[in-house]
Amino acid sequence: MSNSTPTFPPAETMPILFTKDQIAERTKAIGAQITADYAGQSIVLIGVLKGAAIFLADLARAINVDNTFDFVAVSSYGRARVSSGAVKLIKDIDNPIEGKHVIIVEDILDTGLTLSYLRGLMLQHKPASLKIATCLDKPERRLVPIEADYVAFKIPNQFVIGYGMDFAERYRGVDDIRLFPEEAAGH
């Protein structure tokens, strides 16, 4: 059945894809990996607002090397529906990253348009190194070739909410990652 008005069913009614315990376990593992990879160095974690805020907060607490935070925000024009790759920077980094070890932190790598735009932009600042950490990777949806260096979970082509991820700005605070029912999307 299709309708034109989005509805916001309670998150508890949606199937769980990953529980908060599973997410915490993978986040700790990635944090340990980053700690090992950057031992003795300083890193800059750049979160992509708004979705990445929660994963960044947890990942940072699982990393045991000197680190600072920064945030960027982008706006995309119908990202999932056009292949133009039109992404615009709304908020830039606050501090220079030239010569620094940088990790861009995302909640989800989907078509790749957001991260491929941001990677190009950040490389212009000449960081010493640039890697990508993402909670979720949906490889089937990729429109441009880009891979993350640290991935908590690979998922099939299904829309998810929770742990920072939204549907129409809702559900970001849900602490499990759940499958959003397509019939509620109203398209």
Ligand X SMILES: O=P(O)(O)OC[C@H]1O[C@H](OP(=O)(O)OP(=O)(O)O)[C@H](O)[C@@H]1O
Q: Which residue is nearest to ligand X (CB)?
A: 51
Report how far residue 86's alpha carbon sits from residue 93's, in angstroms, rounded to the nearest whole number.
20
Question: Going by C-beta distance under 8 Å and a sequence separation of 6 or more, which residues neighbour residue 33?
Answer: 150
Work out which of 85, 159, 172, 184 binds ligand HPA, going by CB under 6 A: 159
Report how far residue 150's alpha carbon sits from residue 185's, in angstroms, rounded to the nearest whole number.
30
The answer to whether residues 48 and 76 touch, using CB atoms and an 8 Å cutoff, is no
* Residue (25 or 147) nearer to ligand X, CB: 147
The answer to whether residues 135 and 106 touch, using CB atoms and an 8 Å cutoff, is yes
Question: How many helices (DSSP H) and strands (DSSP E) are in the chain?
Answer: 3, 9
Report how far residue 116's alpha carbon sits from residue 87's, in angstroms, rounded to the nearest whole number.
10
* Residue (30 or 165) nearer to ligand HPA, CB: 165
Binding interface with ligand X (CB under 6 A)? 48-51, 76, 79, 106-115, 166
Residue 159 interaction partner, one of ligand HPA, Mg ion, ligand X, none, beta carbon < 5-8 Å per kind: ligand HPA
* Residue (149 or 166) nearer to ligand HPA, CB: 166
The question of whether 110 is a catalytic residue gets the answer yes
**Would you tell me the crossing angle of helices 53-61 and 20-37 to the nearest 10 degrees?**
60
Tell me how far, at minimum, the Cβ of 146 lies from ligand X, in Å.
8
3-class secondary structure, 33: helix
* Residue (27 or 111) nearer to ligand HPA, CB: 111
Residue 76 interaction partner, one of ligand X, Mg ion, ligand HPA, none, beta carbon < 5-8 Å per kind: ligand X
Report how far residue 126's alpha carbon sits from residue 122's, in angstroms, rounded to the nearest whole number.
7
Catalytically annotated residue among 58, 107, 110, 176: 110
Considering only residues 97 to 156 of the shown chain, the ones binding ligand HPA according to CB under 6 A are: 108, 110
User: Can you give the binding site for ligand HPA, defined by CB under 6 A?
Assistant: 108, 110, 159-161, 165-166
- The residues that are catalytic are 110
